Amino acid sequence: MTTDAQFEEWAALADPALPPAEAVRKAVHGELGAIYELANNSALPLDAILLLLRRDDPVVAGLLLFHDVPTEVVIAIMEQFSGEEGLVRTAKWHANAPVAVKLTLPLAEVVGGSLESFFAMVRATSDERAVVHSAIVEEERVTLAEVWARARPVR
């Protein structure tokens, strides 16, 4: 049974001020409730994130995707949990999903922060952005790759 003291201890694990060494220690030795709270910490060091992924828990991976994790973590989640369709789809929508992955998605699914990060990664001009934005409104069933080829044609 979980006590109030355990809940308080677990809640502290989601605090971005948690020392990195403590995050790593809990990632290795923490019980499940602590692990879930730790995965909710938006400031985890990369080594703690990678240790959490070793637990092979799709819930943990899903919680990590709520944060600004690096591209290598998004890729690791897509590879490690390839059989978890919902989790892989969430990873593909992540702002830090690789450009090559975003290009395979339907344009209508690349929105918000994911689209903005795509534009930043490819250093899109305002004209290229306009082509993509107009396609979002006008076209339903195209991939980002199809629209991007029109926005930045190779001549």
Task: Give me the mean pLDDT over the 107-114 stretch.
Answer: 90
**Res. 1: pLDDT tops 70:** no
The answer to whether residues 90 and 62 touch, using CB atoms and an 8 Å cutoff, is yes
Question: Which tokens belong to 122?
Answer: 């490819």
**Percent of the chain having pLDDT more than 90?**
66
pTM of the model: 0.83
Backbone phi, then psi, for 15, in 5-degree steps?
Answer: -75, 125
Domain ranges of the chain: 1-82, 98-155
Cβ-based neighbour number of residue 19 at 10 Å: 10
